[in-house]
Amino acid sequence: MVYSYYPGCTLKTKAKDLDRYAKECAKALGFELEEIENWQCCGGVYPLGTDEIASKLSSVRALNEAKVKGQDLVTVCSACHHVIKRTNDDMKNVEDIRTRANNYMELEEPYAGETTVLHYLEVLRDRVGFDVLKEKVVKPLGRKIGAYYGCLLLRPSKIVQFDNPENPTIIEDFIKAIGGEPVIYPYRNECCGGYVSLKEKEMAGKMVDRIMDSAAGMGAEELITACPLCMYNLNKSESANKLPVYYFTELLAEALGLKEEV
């Protein structure tokens, strides 16, 4: 199975691990990520204003490119996923945005939200299957791992439709599949404050300390995330309970025995 792939700005720079492990693991699991041509940065934050069109066009371009190729569009970064998925919902369901965006785009055929947007974790759950993944694991991790969901993957749940926003299980199921022991802790779906971490460093610091204390208190030895912004912010924690943070793709590569080769 070949998917269109939208890596996003940060996976090409600061979060290269997230990108290369995602691609290598895909091959081992029988699917391929084909990077869409000339993708542009999604902007990192979904433009909430109902009158914002120009700032959504880079997402619409990527979505349309996948549509033309007849492929589903896969993202790995939580922020890209959030932005592209919500923009796709606008194109499908908000007539005013659809009309105005298409006026700008001048496509052969107007784009109306036809593309299916999948996060890499959804590909693992819904297309590969966690049971199949489990069979391919050569090095079960055996460690206590806390899933850090944060906000962008889960909310607003009506639109992103990723998992139950209050009691998600997808990353815990992933952890089980790669032979780890998931640790449930209260702050796993609380925002880390990533978007304010540039200007409000003290405030963001308090928030990540709370997350670390919560996870460590429940016995986690490490955290995993899909988001480079969470990764950056969580790593700023100065809590005595600070845990190491990994991208989920990195642990996937480790479990599949691909980490050293990549």
Residue ranges that bind other proteins, judged by CB under 8 A: 8-10, 13-15, 41, 43-45, 47-51, 55, 77, 79, 151, 154-157, 165, 190-191, 193-200, 203, 207, 228-229, 231-232, 235
Question: By C-beta, is 34 or 190 nearer to other proteins?
Answer: 190
CB of 1 to other proteins, least distance (A): 28
C-alpha distances in Å from residue 239, one per residue of 182, 190, 213, 227: 22, 17, 7, 20
Q: Which is nearer to other proteins, 47 or 179 (CB)?
A: 47
Asked if residue 152 lies in contact with residue 83, where contact means CB atoms within 8 angstroms, the answer is no
Integer CA distances (angstroms), 249 to 19, 193, 228, in order: 8, 23, 12
In the complex, the smallest distance separating the C-beta of residue 198 from other proteins, rounded to whole angstroms, is 5
- The CB-of-228 to other proteins minimum distance in angstroms stands at 5
Token pair recorded at residue 258: 């691909």
- Residue 249's nearest CA partner among 94, 4, 9, 22 is 22
In the complex, minimum distance from the CB of residue 70 to other proteins, in angstroms, rounded to a whole number: 29
Q: Which is nearer to other proteins, 82 or 125 (CB)?
A: 82
Closest distance between other proteins and the C-beta of residue 238, in Å?
A: 14
Coil, strand or helix at 155: coil
* Closer to other proteins by Cβ: residue 6 or 175: 6
Q: Which are the contacts of 27, defined by CB distance < 8 A and separation ≥ 6?
A: none
Instruction: Specify the residue, 10 or 71, whose C-beta has the smaller distance to other proteins.
Output: 10
Which residue shows structure tokens 């895909």?
A: 26
